[in-house]
Amino acid sequence: MMTMSNSKNPKPKSPLETTILDLMDTIFARWFRGPSWDCWRVLLAVLFGLHDRIDAHGIEIYRQCTGRDQLPTERIKRLDLIVGRRGGKSLIAAFVALFVAFFVDHTAYLQPGERAVVSLMAADKVQAGILLRYIKGFVKSIAALRALVVRELREGLELSNGVSIEVRSASFKMGARGFSLALAINDEVCFWESDETSAEPDVAIIGSQRPALATIPSAIQLNISSPHSRRGHLWNSYQQNWGKDTPGILVWKAASRRLPDSPGVEMNSSLDIETVRAAYEADSAAASADFAAEFRVDLESIFSREAIAACVIAGRFELPPSKTLQYFAFTDPSGGSSDSFTMAISHVDAATSRVVLDLVRERRAKFSPDEVVKEFAAVLKSYGIDRVVGDRYAAEWPVERFLVHGISYDPSPMTKSELYLAALPLVNSGRCELLDSPQLTSQLITLERRTSRGGRDSVDHAPGAHDDVANAVAGALVAVPLAVREPWSEVLRFGENKPDGDSRFWHRIN
Ligand SMILES: Nc1ncnc2c1ncn2[C@@H]1O[C@H](COP(=O)(O)OP(=O)(O)OP(=O)(O)O)[C@@H](O)[C@H]1O
Ligand SMILES: [Mg+2]
């Protein structure tokens, strides 16, 4: 299906004149055998401006994946690649890295002693290491490439042509350092973990690479992922640029493998169809993201940034205990090996009827649970609290351990989802005051609400994200009725009926 232009170039090419497609079809052919790589060939031809290598069938693939009719007339500086799982994203990205590092001359744009960097970034260094392993695999197979490696490091390669290939984790911001990027590969960006500083780290980090990409004219930024919810860099770019001739930017969205009854482009037609079928049977919404590369429509943010911001009291980090107030507490225990152990305390302001968040405590793993219980119990006592409500799925041990320190632990009658849904009207109607904690804000706004047909909504953290702090806070905001001995069934009933907006309950208890 590809039109080969080799016949027009009978002279042997120097390595620096070789196109990425020539490499794919010659010395690296054993990696890319068979028609299952055809769609990737079209993409690489578009990315590197090899338009004479795209035939009519290739143009049709291009149209379906980009929504564009015309091939780009300008060099592509940013490729946003939304492709299903096991579609070949990482291997092709590694191959692009190999090409840019070994076969493109960047020296004209570098200062003496400066190196051109090929950055490999993923959610963590282990993930980014997959890209490096692919690259090292390519290099090992060709003696001439091995000869160009001056240093092989655990997290990179240094080449004699002035290029360094470097693995980074997605917590690394480029903006602060001055260096030149020849290529930035950002893998699985839809799953980069939010942190205290950013609820959308992919947006922040992808943006921070821009200055470093500006020195080398041929520099490319490659942002890759299977899709997830409708937020973040790839979703934004898909909205803004898919189907549009945005100069310098190409958005390519394609399934890895499709079910037989949904025809269309497949980036990896060799992927086992039974695996895909089983995934659809287990969870069709997740499978259509994973394999058909559709952003998930069943997932929404629950708390909006604006609603949270309206409840946050700027500069209020913690409120000291007052003898005249009655406090309520909620804890989300953890055994200490992976999740955080968190606790939050609240009270109702009699003058405004608002639920006020007084304190949030988090102990991150690893820790001794006994020690944390002791520490939290002391804090509870300082607020005059002798009972705490806690996650109902926690094992028996929190009940016993808190009791040792004179605190009774009531398992929450509400699930985590129910707590978030019950806290929502409080936040949306501005009937609570939150502490100034970027981490709390970040955790709340990255929560995902999943609507299921006919079933109840569920709320949980996004993949890779955490919600231990948010969980304790939602519990503390909603814990009020238990402590004032209102029947939880009332909260549950209102939560069930109108999870979004019903605040009658709060009017009543206040
Ligand atoms: N188009 C293809 N034709 C044949 N084999 C393929 C194709 N795409 C991927 N593969 C094979 O599938 C495996 C996964 O490839 P790769 O890691 O590049 O996929 P990915 O899209 O990054 O997957 P993930 O979503 O799991 O990160 C590799 O062994 C690769 O060789
Ligand atoms: Mg991958």
Instruction: Encode pLDDT of 195-242 as tens digits.
Output: 666 778 899 999 999 999 999 999 999 999 999 999 999 999 999 999
- As for ligand 1, residues whose beta carbon falls within 6 Å of it are 36-37, 40, 85-91, 226, 267-268, 270
CA of 38 to the centre of ligand 2 (A): 18
Query: Which atom of ligand 1 is nearest the CA belonging to 226?
Result: 25
Pick the closest to residue 378 from 401, 405, 404, 399 (CA basis): 405
Q: Where are the alpha helices (DSSP H) in 383-467?
A: 397-404, 416-428, 438-445
Q: Which pLDDT does position 94 carry in this prediction?
A: 97
> Phi, psi at residue 109, to the nearest 5°?
-105, 5
Q: Which pLDDT does position 16 carry in this prediction?
A: 61
Query: What is the rounded distance in angstroms from the CA atom of residue 121 to the CA atom of residue 129?
Result: 9
Query: What is the rounded distance in angstroms from the CA atom of residue 66 to the CA atom of residue 244?
Result: 8
pLDDT-flagged residues of the chain (< 50): 1-12, 483-510
Query: What is the rounded distance in angstroms from the CA atom of residue 196 to the CA atom of residue 122?
Result: 18
Q: Which pLDDT does position 8 carry in this prediction?
A: 44
Q: In the chain, helix, strand, coil percent, each to 5?
A: 40, 20, 40
Query: What is the rounded distance in angstroms from the CA atom of residue 245 to the CA atom of residue 249?
Result: 8
Query: Which atom of ligand 1 is nearest the CA belonging to 87?
Result: 21
List the structure tokens of 371. Answer: 């020690």
Return the residue matching tokens 């629950």.
302
List the structure tokens of 509. Answer: 């208890």
User: Ligand 1 atom 1: the closest Cα is on which residue?
Assistant: 268
Strand partners, 156: 153, 166
Name the pTM for this structure.
0.83
Query: What is the rounded distance in angstroms from the CA atom of residue 485 to the CA atom of residue 493?
Result: 16
Q: In what order do the strands lie in the sheet with 458-461?
A: 299-301, 447-450, 458-461
Strand partners, 116: 163, 180
Q: Where are the alpha helices (DSSP H) in 249-313?
A: 273-282, 284-290, 305-311
Which ligand does the CA of 137 lie closest to?
1
CA of 351 to the centre of ligand 1 (A): 61
CA of 84 to the centre of ligand 2 (A): 9
Query: What is the rounded distance in angstroms from the CA atom of residue 492 to the CA atom of residue 494?
Result: 6
> CA–CA distance from 142 to each of 93, 129, 135, 137, 333 (Å)?
18, 20, 11, 9, 53
List the structure tokens of 362. Answer: 């988090």
Which ligand does the CA of 267 lie closest to?
1
Query: What is the rounded distance in angstroms from the CA atom of residue 220 to the CA atom of residue 385?
Result: 57
**Protein residues with C-beta less than 5 angstroms from the ion ligand 2:** 89-90
CA of 298 to the centre of ligand 2 (A): 24
List the structure tokens of 298. Answer: 């069943």
> What interhelical angle do 416-428 and 488-497 show, nearest 10?
70
Which ligand does the CA of 87 lie closest to?
1
Which ligand does the CA of 133 lie closest to?
1
239 in Cβ contact with 67 (< 8 Å): no
Query: Which atom of ligand 1 is nearest the CA belonging to 39?
Result: 1
What is the DSSP pairing of strand 180-186 with strand 220-225?
parallel
Respond yes or no on whether the N-terminal peptide bond of residue 366 is cis (omega within 30° of 0).
yes
> CA–CA distance from 362 to each of 375, 389, 410, 414 (Å)?
11, 16, 20, 21
List the structure tokens of 228. Answer: 């997830």
Mutate to test the pocket of ligand 1, among 90, 126, 133, 186 (most ligand atoms within 8 A of CB): 90
Pick the closest to residue 429 from 316, 346, 301, 311 (CA basis): 311
Q: Which pLDDT does position 253 carry in this prediction?
A: 98
Q: Which pLDDT does position 412 carry in this prediction?
A: 86
> Phi, psi at residue 362, to the nearest 5°?
-135, 130
Q: What's the first-to-final CA gap in the chain, in angstroms?
A: 72
> CA–CA distance from 244 to each of 218, 265, 345 (Å)?
22, 19, 50
Query: Which atom of ligand 1 is nearest the CA belonging to 92?
Result: 18
